[in-house]
Structure 1
């Protein structure tokens, strides 16, 4: 089959797939600052993500106040303990995991769903959660760009969204989705950290891919 005339060069294609393969959810960071121009490139990448109906529902808050970071860390720690209790027999195992780097990373960003999303009907009439899917695309764009820049990124979702929204004075209807820790790292994990810690394993592609019917059906 003839290759597409629009495909990138071999080296460019390898770089794209390498970023995907080597992207990691990082928890261990160095204190070195992130260069402002690099941070702007990461935000550019996030803002150029696809969005259903071109709604662009993402909003970003850069956290530069240390006291605010510490308050956010407190919210994460409270939820970490609550999550551990909810895990039952895996509580101790979970408590041994490092699940965030809010106080360590060079940059901390909060990504949120914008208020007023209900006015966007295109693509959301039967699937209103597509606003969240669009924000996830923005985060993935930033994640891959960060890996290409040699920076680590960790997505923290262990927090009470209502309390974080109040802490950051978000308008009614807005909802935080992620705390992103971004920064320099000593090394990237050779495999996903939760695989290394024997928490879970990646499923074989064959288990999640079906043809004309549900996988395995």
Structure 2
């Protein structure tokens, strides 16, 4: 989701979304997610400018002109328009959980954060709120810009708001970039 209506998210609704996300399952019940709500206009603009620069750099990766033009035509973030912007970080050394479940798979902390994001996403959709996950960025630059602890890892930069025009079909599919593929092509049995 990249196109947002100007309608703000009610504070109680945003709080309910964050509370739902905070109830997500996590390895060892570590609850490693850290939510950073971006409210400062100058900070949001700095993030948008950073993403715009990374987006321009990414366009160069498409060698064929037709695909490069199609890429440039995509709107890949709503950082300037979304009523809410959240950065989700993983605390790589949370006190909660006491290290349970991460001795052999430390990435489980990050997977737990993704579960919280997924829970947030589903709760938002149930309220008619859309979510766009911005991934054209340099995580280190965003971490520095947001001035968070060094042992936090950026997992997601999310734009939240009501859709400008609701649709059941993902935007990238509507724009001819990539259609959904069949489950049968993704399911394997052994």
Give the TM-score normalised by the residue count of structure 2: 0.92
Q: Structure 1: which 5+ residue stretches go unaligned?
A: 1-25
Correspondence for 2:17 among 18, 42, 46: 42
**Which residue is 2:81 aligned to?**
104
Distance 1:125 1:203 in 2: 36
Distance 1:200 1:38 in 2: 32
**Which residue is 1:151 aligned to?**
129
Secondary structure of the equivalent of 1:176? Answer: strand
Secondary structure of the equivalent of 1:37? Answer: helix
Structure 1 outlier segments of 4+, above 3 Å? 117-121
Across the aligned residues of Structure 1 and Structure 2, the Cα RMSD in angstroms comes to 1.7
- After TM superposition, give the deviation of residue 166 of structure 1 in Å: 0.7
Q: Is 1:62 aligned with 2:40?
A: no
Distance 1:129 1:198 in 2: 34
Is the Cα contact below 8 Å between 2:83 and 2:160 reproduced in 1?
yes
Is the Cα contact below 8 Å between 1:115 and 1:172 reproduced in 2?
no
Distance 1:111 1:51 in 2: 15
- After TM superposition, give the deviation of residue 142 of structure 1 in Å: 0.8
Secondary structure of the equivalent of 1:88? Answer: coil
Distance 1:140 1:83 in 2: 26
Give the TM-score normalised by the residue count of structure 1: 0.81
Q: Structure 2: which 5+ residue stretches go unaligned?
A: none
Secondary structure of the equivalent of 2:60? Answer: helix
Correspondence for 1:80 among 34, 42, 55: 55
**Which residue is 2:151 aligned to?**
173
Correspondence for 1:183 among 161, 165, 188: 161
Which structure has the bigger radius of gyration?
1
Is the Cα contact below 8 Å between 2:7 and 2:162 reproduced in 1?
yes
- After TM superposition, give the deviation of residue 186 of structure 1 in Å: 2.8
Is the Cα contact below 8 Å between 1:115 and 1:171 reproduced in 2?
no
- After TM superposition, give the deviation of residue 115 of structure 1 in Å: 4.1
**Which residue is 1:10 aligned to?**
none
Correspondence for 2:112 among 131, 134, 158: 134
- After TM superposition, give the deviation of residue 207 of structure 1 in Å: 1.5
Is the Cα contact below 8 Å between 2:92 and 2:109 reproduced in 1?
no
